[in-house]
Amino acid sequence: MPIKRVLSDKYVSWGRFFRYSHEVEKLHWYTELEELNLHEENKPMLAYGLGRSYGDSCLNKDAMLLDVSGMNNFISFERNTGVMRCEAGVTLAQILELAIPFGWFLPVTPGTKFVTIGGAIANDVHGKNHHLAGTIGNHIHCFELLLSSGKRVLCSPTENEALFRATIGGLGLTGLITWAEMRLKKASPLITMESIKFGNLDEFFKLAEEDQNYEYTVAWVDCVSSGKDLGRGIYMRGNHKNGGDVLKGSIVKKPIIAVPFSAPNHLLNNFTIKLFNLAYYEKQRQKTVVKDVHYDPFFYPLDLVDKWNLIYGSRGFFQYQFVIPLAKAHVVAKVFELIASSKMASFLAVLKKFGNIESPGMLSFPKEGITLALDFVNRGEATLQLFKKLDELVLTADGRLYPAKDAHMSGDHFKAFYPQIDEFLKYKDPKFSSSFFRRVVGNG
């Protein structure tokens, strides 16, 4: 199929905050990319997966996007070893659909299955098993990178190792990943899950101390409550079920409901968010619930609502995710106090302890410590003022923000969070760029 360039203003990121126009090339086969003639191109270029990044790291204002989502074929799958090679636009949902009938599962997955493998590598995504499995980059054998010069380079821990590490978590700036190979893990698709109510952050940290016994751990926190209830929430932990139970129903669940259009901007206000947080906390009556569940709602509860990002209205919304070292864990309470007093409640707050497995990427976000992810309605200047205060807390706690979720970080903060940027820049492709990169580094 010939590659055809179109001018489009339809390519947005998940937060729907930035609205840019792009020149878009839709890619179809990894073997047929020579006709792109990237070496003749003058505009900055960037790969785009499914736009599940929240800010502007997948956007390239007034420049070129290479839409990889149609380049989504499997290349090989060894049923006996679980080694799988696929084009970069294959989604995690596709991989689950292929692998589960043979007893295989993803080694690492983020909180949505609607991401491409290329996008997952470029952000070196993490999941609920970070404390035992590290990031997705820890499980990638190799991939092919297409440079703007037209050259194809095989990258692995033993071949072009520095380019391999620069591309994992490299925000799409080193070139276009055309295909990738990774090893899946043998595991049941059923999860034995425990869901435990905790009354404050001390209780959360106690539960987190037991995380070596559970492959998956994460907590939802009610970030509207203050005083004695500050930091209360529900801790979820689980392991793949032992034994050969088969899944009931479909292998990969489809969304059960869709948000049809952008909701009115006033739908999510302090009152409705407070109500949601209260209802979520109270819906579990018992202190602890234990049950076997289908992996899909366990890992991907938000995927059950198609286009849920539209509920934030036409102004869009922000995610704010940081990690701070364990020694500075007390800062998490300060963050919740600041949010509660700002009256800018977060709709969803997710807290997790990262482990000490080193991420392979030069610019990977995860490091040992506590990570907190928050959603905020876009209230313009007021929200940005809150972020300014939060940023200072993160900076002084030796933490960092996650570029995949970011729409506001300053260049100075980025350089302080990611001092490896100078090393990384040696491997950046001169023609690849993004709106995020120009915002935090410049035109280099």
Site residues for ligand FAD per CB under 6 A: 14, 46-53, 57-58, 68, 88, 110-112, 115-116, 118-120, 122-123, 125-127, 171-172, 176-177, 302, 404, 434
Query: What pairs with residue 352 in β-bridges?
Result: 371
If the CB atoms of residues 225 and 400 are measured against ligand FAD, the closer one turns out to be: 400
If the CB atoms of residues 116 and 277 are measured against ligand FAD, the closer one turns out to be: 116
CB of 426 to ligand FAD, least distance (A): 18
How far is the C-alpha of 399 from the C-alpha of 397, rounded, in Å?
A: 5
How far is the C-alpha of 40 from the C-alpha of 428, rounded, in Å?
A: 18
CB of 67 to ligand FAD, least distance (A): 9
DSSP 20: -
If the CB atoms of residues 38 and 171 are measured against ligand FAD, the closer one turns out to be: 171
- How far, in Å, are 59, 109, 226 from residue 345 at the CA level? 27, 27, 11
DSSP 345: -
Residues 6+ apart with CB under 8 A from 245: 188, 190, 292
CB of 322 to ligand FAD, least distance (A): 13
CB of 279 to ligand FAD, least distance (A): 20
- How far, in Å, are 296, 327, 379, 401 from residue 444 at the CA level? 41, 36, 32, 22
DSSP 10: -
CB of 19 to ligand FAD, least distance (A): 16
Quick one: tokens of 227?
Answer: 């005083």
CB of 348 to ligand FAD, least distance (A): 9
If the CB atoms of residues 130 and 232 are measured against ligand FAD, the closer one turns out to be: 130
- How far, in Å, are 12, 40, 278 from residue 373 at the CA level? 21, 41, 19
If the CB atoms of residues 90 and 340 are measured against ligand FAD, the closer one turns out to be: 90
If the CB atoms of residues 71 and 339 are measured against ligand FAD, the closer one turns out to be: 71
If the CB atoms of residues 169 and 189 are measured against ligand FAD, the closer one turns out to be: 169
Picking from 332, 410, 417, the residue whose alpha carbon sits closest to that of residue 372 is 332
How far is the C-alpha of 46 from the C-alpha of 438, rounded, in Å?
A: 12
CB of 355 to ligand FAD, least distance (A): 14
